[in-house]
């Protein structure tokens, strides 16, 4: 099936072993079968909530849009600095470690880990994006060290203790039940394995910047008649998401059973500049990038993140368990 994860695949629902039966995977314990969809094994649970189905379609259908957006993001000093920061936390694992990413999207962070010599299992619920991730990883020569399968972060189809490391980037806030997902990740990590969370939104913007931004967008549309419908580009889960305060994230880690973790502030001014230039680009339908400003802001943000009260209010969080 997929050399990297053949022997650790399990039924997403009952966690029983799955066996190859003709063209399907079969779980004898609960009599479930799993098919291949467009070349990807579909190990999603038989039932999914409407919200998850809507997320799957949203991200799958907009694969090209997100590819385009990624191309405009990847040169951003803010993006690069905070992605390198959580990738470096994973790079403490010995070479050849097996790493899981849930909600991998287009797989750009995974590619960095493959290049660093790790074995990687990428999962997502959106087949369009996952296929794109697989294409890119194969094109870069990592067919043998990577596997890609459709899976739900709250019902992982892997045996307990399978992975040396796991990570999730800007995805936890899309999930209806983030705690269930963290518990699943802890289950599939071996004892002493590392979990890394990348660029999860903090909660304060939901009471401040985002409502203001919505009013501003509405005004611009109303009086200038300009700008694409950004609501169309925001997924249902993103509309519902509230981000995580430091206490909320700590509470989730603790309840999920992790014993130690570090929360790291990920961006203040650099994140704001990145966010505003992205929004402005959509509004005027022209790419606005303020990379030199972001570059100046990153060291300032690093300093701000070390101040007692201010450290609670970064734009995003990175986190690692230890
Ligand atoms: Zn089963």
Ligand 1 centroid distance, CA of 236 (Å): 29
User: Is the pLDDT confidence value at 299 over 80?
Assistant: yes
Token pair for 268: 């203040």
Pair of tokens at residue 282: 């959509």
Return mean pLDDT, the chain: 92
> Is the pLDDT at 292 greater than 90, yes or no?
yes
Full strand arrangement of the beta sheet holding 189-201: 36-37, 40-42, 146-150, 119-124, 98-102, 163-169, 189-201, 316-321, 261-266
Lookup result for tokens 């796991």: 166
CA of 45 to the centre of ligand 1 (A): 9
- What is the pLDDT confidence band of residue 107, given thresholds at 50, 70 and 90? very high
Predicted TM-score of the model (pTM): 0.92
Question: 293 CA distance to ligand 1 centroid (A)?
Answer: 52
- 227: pLDDT strictly greater than 60: no
Rounded to the nearest whole angstrom, what is the distance from the C-alpha of residue 24 to the centroid of ligand 1? 14
- Ligand 1 centroid to Cα of residue 12, in Å, is 7
Nearest to 180 by CA among 322, 28, 45: 45
Asked if the model's pLDDT at residue 92 lies above 80, the reply is: yes
Q: Return the pLDDT at 152.
A: 96
What value does the mean pLDDT take over residues 28-51? 92
The pLDDT tens digits of the residues spanning 154-204 come to 999 999 999 999 999 999 999 999 999 999 999 999 999 999 999 999 998
156 CA distance to ligand 1 middle (Å): 12
Å from CA of 47 to ligand 1 middle: 13
Tell how far the Cα of 25 is from the centroid of ligand 1, in angstroms.
11
Residue 187 CA, ligand 1 centroid: distance in Å = 17
pLDDT at 50 > cutoff 80: yes
| Closest residue by Cα to residue 89 from 118, 50, 49 | 118
**Position with higher pLDDT, 283 vs 317:** 317
Model pLDDT for residues 251-265, shown as the tens digit of each residue: 999 999 999 999 999
Look-up of token digits 């390198």: 84
For residue 226, pLDDT over 80 is answered with no
The CA 9 to ligand 1 mean position distance, Å, reads 11
Q: How many CA atoms are closer than 13 Å to the CA of 4, on its beta-carbon side?
A: 20
Q: How far is residue 257 from each of residues 21, 25, 191, 194, 254, measured CA to CA in Å?
A: 36, 31, 12, 13, 5
Higher pLDDT, 58 or 318: 318
Higher pLDDT, 66 or 133: 133
Q: What's the pLDDT band for 232 if we cut at 50, 70, 90?
A: low
Residue 194 CA to ligand 1 center (angstroms) comes to 27
| Residue 268 near residue 301, CB atoms below 8 Å | yes
Residue 283 pLDDT: 78
Is the predicted pLDDT of residue 229 greater than 70, yes or no? no
């Amino acid at each position: 099936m997929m050399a990297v994860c053949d022997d650790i695949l399990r039924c997403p629902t009952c966690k029983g072993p799955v066996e190859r039966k003709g063209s399907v995977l079969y779980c004898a314990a609960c009599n479930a079968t799993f098919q291949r969809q467009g070349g990807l094994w579909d190990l999603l649970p038989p039932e999914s909530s409407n919200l998850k189905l809507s997320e799957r379609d949203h991200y799958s259908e907009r694969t090209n849009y997100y590819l385009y957006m990624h191309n405009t993001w990847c040169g951003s000093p803010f993006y690069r600095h905070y992605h390198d920061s959580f990738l470096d936390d994973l790079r403490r694992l010995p070479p050849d470690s097996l790493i899981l990413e849930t909600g991998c999207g287009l797989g750009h962070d995974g590619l960095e880990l493959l290049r660093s010599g790790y074995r990687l299992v990428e999962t997502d619920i959106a087949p369009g994006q996952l296929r794109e991730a697989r294409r890119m990883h194969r094109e870069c020569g990592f067919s043998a060290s990577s596997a890609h399968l459709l899976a739900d972060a709250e019902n992982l189809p892997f045996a307990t203790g399978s992975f040396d490391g796991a990570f999730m980037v800007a995805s936890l806030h899309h999930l209806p039940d983030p705690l269930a997902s963290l518990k699943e990740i802890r289950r599939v990590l071996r004892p002493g394995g590392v979990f890394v969370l990348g660029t999860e939104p903090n909660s304060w913007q939901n009471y401040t910047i985002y409502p203001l931004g919505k009013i501003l967008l509405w005004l611009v549309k109303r009086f200038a008649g300009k700008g694409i419908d950004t609501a169309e580009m925001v997924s249902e889960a993103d509309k519902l998401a509230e981000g995580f305060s430091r206490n909320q994230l700590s509470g989730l880690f603790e309840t999920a059973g992790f014993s130690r973790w570090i929360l790291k502030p990920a961006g203040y001014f650099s994140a704001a500049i990145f966010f505003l230039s992205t929004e402005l680009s959509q509004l005027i339908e022209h790419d606005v990038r303020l990379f030199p400003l972001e570059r100046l802001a990153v060291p300032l943000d690093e300093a701000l993140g070390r101040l007692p009260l201010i450290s609670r209010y970064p734009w995003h969080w990175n986190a690692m368990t230890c």
